Chain A
Amino acid sequence: GESVGLHLPTLSVQEGDNSIINCAYSNSASDYFIWYKQESGKGPQFIIDIRSNMDKRQGQRVTVLLNKTVKHLSLQIAATQPGDSAVYFCAENNGSGYALNFGKGTSLLVTP
């Protein structure tokens, strides 16, 4: 079936570098996408979202890019910090209402 997937299960970056986490989706009916950060022992924390009528959205140190042509979503984190170490999930509204369809997650490890 259609699903949201992530290209890399783990990503290791040095403190201060920029991080890019990628996500592919296949449901062309999806019109809303969210990135979440989940730290150990906690629930997913909202980072940033984007609607399908946009191709870029910026937050504090984070940018989400949406390429509808190739059904690709990315999260860019500028000047990555140790506190950014977590698992990052992309999620899509699957077009059938209020359910979010999550990818498997990418573990980001920030090394000093």
Chain B
Amino acid sequence: KAGVTQTPRYLIKTRGQQVTLSCSPISGHRSVSWYQQTPGQGLQFLFEYFSETQRNKGNFPGRFSGRQFSNSRSEMNVSTLELGDSALYLCASSLEDSDTQYFGPGTRLTVL
């Protein structure tokens, strides 16, 4: 079974721009979570989606948003990019009734 896939793998943007990242979960997994990983803050939870609904949200500003499609694929969007948004953005998927999350390789976002 294929793992979690994320596209693109690398992205360079400038301040003020917006970006959309994509995540395809493991087949059969309906829950998708997003995390931001930085050297200073570590791994921080952004939000989680299940059946196209956001069930949980972390402490990030409204510039960070996401959505989930009927096929469980998910996207996250960051608007008005800031230098501090440079990070590895990780997507994880899990089965409906499981806590175990399986991660993708991440999207490395660099904001210049």
Contact = CB atoms under 8 A, between A and B. Distances in A.
Contacts of B90: 43-44
A59 interface: no
Interface of A: 32, 34, 36, 41-46, 49, 89, 91, 93, 96-105
15 contacts: A36-B103, A42-B106, A43-B92, A43-B104, A43-B105, A43-B106, A44-B43, A45-B103, A89-B42, A91-B43, A98-B55, A100-B35, A101-B45, A102-B35, A102-B44
B4 A89 contact: no
Max chain B Cβ within 10 angstroms of own Cβ: one of A45, A97, A100: A100
Contacts of B100: 34, 46, 49
Interface of B: 4, 31, 33, 35, 42-45, 48, 50, 55-56, 58, 90, 92, 94, 99-106
Given A44-B103, A97-B56, 5 more contacts: A34-B100, A43-B92, A46-B102, A46-B103, A101-B45
Contacts of B35: 100, 102
Contacts of A34: 99-101
Nearest to B44: A102
Contacts of A103: 42
Nearest to A91: B43
A100 B94 CA distance: 12
Nearest to A98: B48
A3 to B, nearest CB: 10
Max chain A Cβ within 10 angstroms of own Cβ: one of B48, B101, B104: B101
